[in-house]
Amino acid sequence: MMILLYIIFAVIVGLLFHGIHRKVIARIQTRPGPPIWQEFLHVMKFSFKQTWIPKTASKVLFVAIVPAVIAIWAGALYVLFTGGSLLVIFGVYLLHKITEHGLGLSSGSPYGKLGAIRSVLSAASEIPLIASIAGIYFVTGSLMISDIVAYQADHGILLITALPIALAMYVIILSKVPYSPFGIIEAKEIVSGNKTEHFGAFRAGLEVGFALKTFVLLAVFVTLFIGAMPFWMLLIASLILLLTMSFICALTPMLSPYDAVTIQIGVIIIVIIYMAFIAFAGGMP
């Protein structure tokens, strides 16, 4: 029961974060922008709009992919709050790639298909990038979130002592926020990419899942690299982290798919050099 309340709270905060993100981007670009509760209104609106399944769609997959998105991120939220294994969060991130792909392929639409192909392409760089959490294991000796928090209490925050790994995680989260320069799977030249054919209640479900995803990823970053803090401070730290990303999103154009992959691979190389340094130095620098 308690976890259900947490999920509802995380969805509301995630949607508000999306709204604040849009507002900040708009103000930087000297536009008035929508109100910060706009994404919440979107979900309410989509929930009551007419919904149907395209004639060309693979019906079961088309529908099942929406609860799958919500379920995996709700699971990730549970793992985060119970101090479970970071490996599960890593797993959920990869499962999210599968849902992105299924979302695009299930409708039969060429726009969805292009979004799905781009999600496969981006997986080639995002997956090794998130595998850099193995670096956290080399540094802290554990992948349990509760142990990592305890490690930071004794040895200082990982944001400073393991900066390259934090950079890799930052790029991962930046890739997943709306209007990201790395958001190639839903670029406007392919309409809304893999989300194109999911409208009405299905879109509302997806927005709920994506709000959960944003909340979880921001909270994971803050917990992993800054450490334990009161819940209200976690929310503020997550918001500050999001605002840094809003600036990048507002000031950077959407990258081409190959540029996006190239930049992410550049970050992977930095992390590999850092991990090799740790391995040869025999411990923390």
Partner 1 sequence: MYEAMTASVTASMPVSESAYGFTQTDIEGQALFSLPFGDIVNFLTPYTAVLFVFALTFTIIALISKPERQVDTVMGGDAYYTKDISRETLRFQRFMAIACGLATMGGIMAGDVFNFTLFTAFIGITNIGIVAAVKNKHILDNAFEYGLLAMIGTLPLFVGAALVLATTGTLSMWILFTPEVAVPLFAKLLLVIGVIAEGMAPVFVAKAEITRAPGAPYILMVHVSSLLIFLRVIEIVISM
**Cβ count near 29 (within 10 Å):** 10
Q: What 8-state DSSP symbol labels residue 141?
A: S
Question: Cβ contacts of residue 38 below 8 Å, gap of 6+?
Answer: 19, 22
| Cβ at position 116, least distance to partner 1 in Å | 6
φ and ψ of 85, to 5 deg: -85, 135
155 binds partner 1 (CB under 8 A): no
64 binds partner 1 (CB under 8 A): yes
Give Rg (Cα) of the chain: 19
51 binds partner 1 (CB under 8 A): no
DSSP string, 34-48: --TTHHHHHHHHHHT
| Cβ at position 81, least distance to partner 1 in Å | 14
258 binds partner 1 (CB under 8 A): no
Q: What residue spans of the chain are helical by DSSP H?
A: 2-28, 38-47, 59-81, 86-106, 110-130, 133-140, 145-155, 158-161, 163-176, 201-225, 231-251, 257-281
Binding residue for partner 1, selected from 116, 204, 206, 211, defined by CB under 8 A: 116
Return the number of the residue (222 or 268) whose C-beta is nearest partner 1. Answer: 268
97 binds partner 1 (CB under 8 A): yes
Binding residue for partner 1, selected from 8, 41, 48, 110, defined by CB under 8 A: 110
Return the number of the residue (61 or 228) whose C-beta is nearest partner 1. Answer: 61
Return the number of the residue (76 or 173) whose C-beta is nearest partner 1. Answer: 76
Binding residue for partner 1, selected from 15, 16, 74, 143, defined by CB under 8 A: 143
Sign of the dihedral through C-alpha 252, 254, 259, 260: positive
169 binds partner 1 (CB under 8 A): no
Binding residue for partner 1, selected from 26, 36, 134, 191, defined by CB under 8 A: 134
| Cβ at position 133, least distance to partner 1 in Å | 9
Between the two ends of the chain, the Cα-to-Cα distance in Å is 44
108 binds partner 1 (CB under 8 A): yes
191 binds partner 1 (CB under 8 A): no
**How far is CA 188 from each of CA 34, 90, 104, 273, rounded to the nearest angstrom?**
19, 28, 15, 36
Question: Cβ contacts of residue 108 below 8 Å, gap of 6+?
Answer: 54, 56, 57, 58
Return the number of the residue (85 or 161) whose C-beta is nearest partner 1. Answer: 85
CA angle 14, 16, 17 (to 5 degrees): 60
162 binds partner 1 (CB under 8 A): no
Q: How many residues bind partner 1 (CB under 8 A)?
A: 49
Residues in contact with partner 1 by the rule CB under 8 A = 55-62, 64, 68, 72, 75, 79, 84-85, 87-88, 90-92, 94-95, 97-98, 101-102, 105-110, 113, 116-117, 120-121, 123-124, 127-128, 131, 134, 137, 141-144, 147
